Amino acid sequence: MKHPHRLAAEMCHSPKLAARASGLTVDAVHVIQKKRVARYIERQRRDPLIDAKTTRPWRTATAKRRAEQEAADRAAENKREIERERAKREREEATRHSLILAARAARALGFTVRASKSRAGYISSYYCRRGETTLRISDHDIPETPQREFMAREHGRDYYDGYHGRQLIVDEPRRYEWLRRAIVLAAAGRM
């Protein structure tokens, strides 16, 4: 059985009222309340090993789901990357095919066509001539290189400023009719 003073101090939340009701000092009531809080905290404290044991199934299941989700995300990203690479290769192949169609269209329009190959062995540009008209058909602009800069300076220019003739850049897949019309316009200087 608890002492009535202690019961009064435990039941009342205000230290002054508890002290009046129990006949104790306010400091004694504070000590009692601090001990009570310390006991409560001690009862609430659990051994981390027991906590780990009781939560292990949940933690391992969560970790397993997280690992499975991460693996699925990586697989999906790899699949998207492969699809992007495949689409890029198909687009490059279709662009190369359009370049070949452009050369055929130029030949059909009476141009003499000379191919220029890249270092990889692909035809990257066609130089076409009909009378005094010259036309470059390519999938890229002529890049600046140190050699071109040097040659430009040797010929009295301050810098290399690109190809000076008429040109048609075919950098995406195009139909034969579009290419034929574009060659006619480029040769006339209207494109």
Q: Is residue 36 part of a domain?
A: yes
pLDDT tens, residue order, the chain (191 aa)? 677 766 766 676 777 777 777 777 888 888 888 888 888 888 887 778 887 887 777 778 888 888 889 999 999 999 999 999 999 999 989 988 998 899 999 989 888 888 887 777 777 788 888 888 888 888 877 777 787 778 778 887 776 666 667 888 888 888 888 888 888 888 887 66
Q: Are 103 and 178 part of one and the same domain? A: yes
Q: Is residue 108 part of a domain?
A: yes
Q: Are 102 and 182 part of one and the same domain? A: yes
Q: Is residue 60 part of a domain?
A: no
Residues 6+ apart with CB under 8 A from 11: 18
Per-residue confidence (pLDDT) for residue 59, from 0 to 100: 76
Q: Are 113 and 183 part of one and the same domain? A: yes
Per-residue confidence (pLDDT) for residue 78, from 0 to 100: 96
Q: Are 105 and 181 part of one and the same domain? A: yes
Per-residue confidence (pLDDT) for residue 161, from 0 to 100: 64
Query: What CA–CA distance (Å, rounded) separates 90 from 125?
Result: 19
Domain count, the chain: 2
Q: Are 34 and 114 part of one and the same domain? A: no
Per-residue confidence (pLDDT) for residue 71, from 0 to 100: 92
Per-residue confidence (pLDDT) for residue 83, from 0 to 100: 96
Q: Is residue 58 part of a domain?
A: no
Q: Is residue 12 part of a domain?
A: yes
Q: Is residue 53 part of a domain?
A: no
Whether residue 2 contacts residue 22, with contact meaning beta carbons closer than 8 Å, is answered with no
Domain span including residue 183: 93-187
Query: What CA–CA distance (Å, rounded) separates 168 from 182?
Result: 7
Q: Is residue 76 part of a domain?
A: no
Beta bridge partners of 116: 125
Output the pTM of the full model. 0.54
Query: What CA–CA distance (Å, rounded) separates 127 from 138?
Result: 9
Q: Is residue 84 part of a domain?
A: no
Q: Are 36 and 106 part of one and the same domain? A: no
Q: Are 177 and 116 part of one and the same domain? A: yes
